[in-house]
Amino acid sequence: MRTTRAGLADVARRAGVSPATASRVLSGSGPASPASRAAVLAAAEQLDYRPHPVARQLAGGSGSRVVFAVRDERADILRDPFVTRATAAMAAALLPYAMGVALRHVGLDCAADLDELAGDRGLAALVLAGHDRAMPAALPPRLRGRTAVIGAGGADVDSAAGVGVLLTHLYLLGRRRIALIAGPAWLAASAAPVAAYRELTRSAGLPARIVRGDFTSARGRVAARAVLRRWPDTDAIATVSDATALGALQALAGLGIRVPDDVAVTGFDDVPLASAVSPALSTATHPVEEIAAAAVRSALGEVVPVTLFPSSPVFRATA
Partner DNA sequence: CTGTTAGCGCATTCAC
Partner DNA sequence: GTGAATGCGCTAACAG
> Site residues (CB under 7 A) for DNA?
7-9, 16-21, 23-24, 26-27, 29-33, 35-37, 49, 51-52, 55-56, 58-61, 121
276 binds, among DNA, a copy of itself, none (CB under 5 to 8 A by kind): a copy of itself
DSSP letter at 182?
Answer: E
Give every CB contact of residue 253 below 8 A, 6+ residues apart in sequence: 259
**Cα separation of 305 and 294, whole Å?**
9
Q: 142: exposed, middle or buried (C-beta count within 10 Å: 0-12, 13-18, 19+)?
A: middle
Least separation, in Å, of the C-beta of 225 and a copy of itself? 15
Nearer to a copy of itself, 191 or 250 (CB): 250
**Cα separation of 299 and 120, whole Å?**
16
Nearer to DNA, 98 or 308 (CB): 98
Phi, psi at 66, each rounded to 5°? -100, 135
Q: Are strands 236-239 and 209-212 parallel, antiparallel or unpaired?
A: unpaired
250 binds, among DNA, a copy of itself, none (CB under 5 to 8 A by kind): a copy of itself
Residues that bind a copy of itself in the complex, under the rule CB under 8 A: 5, 48, 50, 52-55, 57-58, 63-68, 78-81, 83-85, 87-88, 91-92, 94-95, 98-104, 119-122, 217, 220, 242-243, 246-247, 249-250, 253, 271-273, 275-278, 280, 289
Nearer to a copy of itself, 172 or 276 (CB): 276
State the Cα angle at 201 between 196 and 204, rounded to 5°: 125
Beta-bridged to residue 210, according to DSSP, are 180
Least separation, in Å, of the C-beta of 127 and a copy of itself? 11
Nearer to a copy of itself, 161 or 280 (CB): 280
Question: Are 269 and 82 in contact, with CB atoms under 8 Å apart?
Answer: yes
Least separation, in Å, of the C-beta of 110 and a copy of itself? 15
Least separation, in Å, of the C-beta of 34 and a copy of itself? 29
End-to-end CA distance of the chain: 63
Nearer to DNA, 17 or 69 (CB): 17
The beta strands (E) that lie in the chain are given as 65-71, 100-106, 123-129, 147-150, 178-182, 209-212, 236-239, 264-266, 283-285, 312-314
Q: Residue 214: left if φ>0, alpha if ψ -120 to 50, beta else—which one?
A: beta
Least separation, in Å, of the C-beta of 115 and DNA? 19
CA atoms within 13 A on the CB side of 258: 2
Nearer to a copy of itself, 122 or 145 (CB): 122
95 binds, among a copy of itself, DNA, none (CB under 5 to 8 A by kind): a copy of itself
Least separation, in Å, of the C-beta of 3 and DNA? 12
Least separation, in Å, of the C-beta of 203 and a copy of itself? 33
Nearer to a copy of itself, 15 or 83 (CB): 83
